Amino acid sequence: MISLKKLNVFLAIMTSMTGSALFDTAYAASVPTAMPNDAQNFYRTDKADMQKVRFSSLYDVQIAGNLYIPRAIDQSKKHAAIIVGHPMGAVKEQSANLYANKMAEQGFITLAIDLPFWGESGGSPRNSVSPDFYAEAFSAAVDFLGTQKLVDREKIGAIGICGSGSFVISAAKIDSRLKAVATVSMYDMGDAARNALRGSQTLEQRKAVIKEASEQRYAEYLGGGRKYTSGTVHEITEKSNPIEIEFYEFYRTERGAFTPEGADPNTTTHPTLTSNVKFMNFYPFNDMDLIAPRPLLFIAGEKAHSIEFSEKAYERAMEPKELYIVKGAGHVDLYDRTSLIPFAKLTDFFKTNLK
């Protein structure tokens, strides 16, 4: 059963804020809209070969990925490679594969991964939250790529989409092999869990979330059913707020809905309630000076409800860094809308910094 009460991320809190300054006319929709013509989440290039791969993390958790090798690549040389991480609660088939396909078309070897506990990757219980394991998945992907005959291990970069933006930042702080990092529609999952959007969650609300999760541990230890939290709603009502609708239009429609083999469609996108509080101890933007002088690129939509996280990361990062704002774009637009996603910017960034 999905528990949508006392959420420790923004969705439940935002419901009570509809009509506030947070929801301006840019988010005035009240019902789902038709799928945009440029939405291509399930895009598959004919310019690269894809193979499914698996490799172990430092903690012996199996990481699953889709590896893309450009067909025109010179097999006698070593090449730059890019790891792509999916949005929080998603799987590689949602947004990450699209980015990997598109960047492979630009000549990069690319690897779209499933984070531990999600998709085809290992880890139990499913849908668990562990920021450390998520960050480790990027380092494990470097282990894998850096030992492939076609990859130059000195030219490995990464793209983190939504929550993976904060996970790849966390990884890059302690893994110097990640030579260039770009984030897209980044969520600082720690900040979101502690404070919600625009700092709208109070300390008392945070403590209430922690209390609920703490008590649920007893229930599950004694054999009770597992509970899930946050994620994307399964239906839209007259009470649905614009952010719920934005995610629904991607995750619960043909635009981006995907249920991995063996998974329950009723729990896709939903983390376990007991593990989700782990995000409250996650501070990815601390000590970002450890990444310099490796370059950082933060991409965010002009109208994205999440833009604050990219702005905060940019402020705290050391040079070289860039904040790139996509005019007219919202948060989810940069998951799959190919006319808005700045692939040319990403291509230039990685060709410049992985040369």
Query: What count of Cα atoms within 13 Å lies in the side-chain half-sphere of residue 288?
Result: 21
Closest to 285 in 3D by CA, of 190, 204, 351: 190
Q: Which residues of the chain have pLDDT under 70?
A: 1-32
pLDDT in the model for residue 354: 98
Task: For residue 262, give Cα distances in angstroms to 224, 258, 315, 317, 327.
Answer: 21, 12, 42, 40, 39
Helix (H) or strand (E) holding 158: strand 151-161
Residue spans of the domains in the chain: they are 10-353
- Render the burial of 328-349: b for 16+ CB within 10 Å, e for the rest: ebbbbbbbbbeebbbeeebbeb
Contacts of 132 (CB under 8 A, 6+ apart): none
Topology classification of domain 10-353: Rossmann fold (3.40.50)
Closest CA to 200 of 6, 341, 16: 16
Q: At what angle do helices 164-174 and 307-316 cross, to 10 degrees?
A: 20
pLDDT of residue 34: 87
Q: What pLDDT sits at residue 32? A: 66
Reference 296, options 149, 186, 217, 215; nearest CA is 186
Which residues sit opposite 321 in a β-bridge?
296
Question: Which pLDDT score is estimated for 31?
Answer: 59
Q: Which residues contact 25 (CB under 8 A, 6 or more apart)?
A: none
Predicted confidence at residue 13, as pLDDT, reads: 37
